[in-house]
Amino acid sequence: MNELQKTLTFVGIAVVSLALWGWSQAKPSGSQAAEYDLIGQPFFPDFTDPNQADGLNLVTYDEETASTRQFSVQNRDGKWVIPSRHDYPADAQEQLAKTASSVIGIKRGALVGRRSADFERLGVIDPLDEESTALKGRGNRITLVDGENTLTDLIIGKKSDDDSGLYYVRKPTEDQTFLASLDISLSTKFTDWIKDDLLELDPQDLTRIVIHRYQIDEDSGRVNDQGVYALDKPEGQTNWKLDDLNTDSEEMDDTKVNDLVKQLDDLRIVGVRPKPEALSSDLKLNKKVDRDLLTALNLQSKGFFFTPDKSGGQRLVSNEGELAAMTKNGLTYVLHFGSIVTGDEEEIEVGF
């Protein structure tokens, strides 16, 4: 072998060695290879039927107040309820199926974080992590369940820094964070999960409205009547009539009556409190209950009091008066107006 051949042989060996070295450096380790194999795969491949979910848990985090907000919906014996809102009945089947459908098929995009040290930067710290002291970087967590089985559990973090519209997402049990395309509703708003129309009435069905105005002596519980005003609209007519109106010298303001009817139709539920067990279904106080228990029932602070009625029982009265609305179908809606509610959204929804 002459010198030229030797030189070419050495060069060839060097090139092959360099290529093998570069390939060995570029090839990920076993654990890294497994991570990259996940790219393009759905987070929950076994979850394919949105109707399989019978429960939803949402946890959101507000960085401005450094507080979490939890919301849940469950199907109990065929009835949807909101446990975090005093088990109020939920209109949740369609809403839950929509949310579940948006979770099905969410795929792992690019791998953007491999360690827990990346969580704060990507906004995927578990909002329920009590060991973490971070006030920023916590994500929102959505969990769908079927009885005791967890169908999906995701922590959704910040939007990616580019204009792709993708989000940083990870499973609570994993350290890896991926980019993912999301079109999902994470509403923890009470009214998004219920039928919020309080009376569900047709204004055309109203035939009589009775307004009872009074003042309450909060110390004695006595009611000082200021009058009862009854409005009637016979079926088939469009105009309301005020009982005992002296038509010779008085005239009713139809605009105010129409505004009242519209307000009744527009009444919407924004929060709920459980009715004390001492109250019967017709809002009368159990005779066995001592009046001193009212403070414990926390009704007086809400503007509701009791006064003796003709039957010897205790009748509910309210510091802003009451109203009864009757329909042609024989339904009567009785509304008691207590104190004005203040507080943030969650306090209004569920109480202090």
pLDDT score recorded for residue 281: 78
Q: Which residue has the higher pLDDT, 129 or 2?
A: 129
| pLDDT per residue as tens digits for the range 199-250 | 999 999 999 999 998 888 777 767 888 889 999 998 778 889 998 888 778 8
**Distance between CA atoms of residues 271 and 266, nearest Å:** 15
What does the pLDDT look like over 133-151, one tens digit per residue?
Answer: 888 999 999 999 999 899 9
Residue 16 has a pLDDT of 43
Categorize the per-residue pLDDT at 31 as very low, low, confident or very high, splitting at 50, 70 and 90.
low
Strands in the chain per DSSP E:
55-62, 67-76, 79-82, 88-89, 111-113, 140-146, 149-159, 167-170, 177-180, 206-217, 222-232, 241-242, 284-285, 304-308, 314-318, 322-327, 332-336
- Any idea what DSSP says for residue 342? -
Residue 7: its pLDDT value, please?
46
Farthest CA pair distance, the chain:
133
In this predicted structure, the answer to whether residue 180 has a pLDDT above a threshold of 80 is: yes
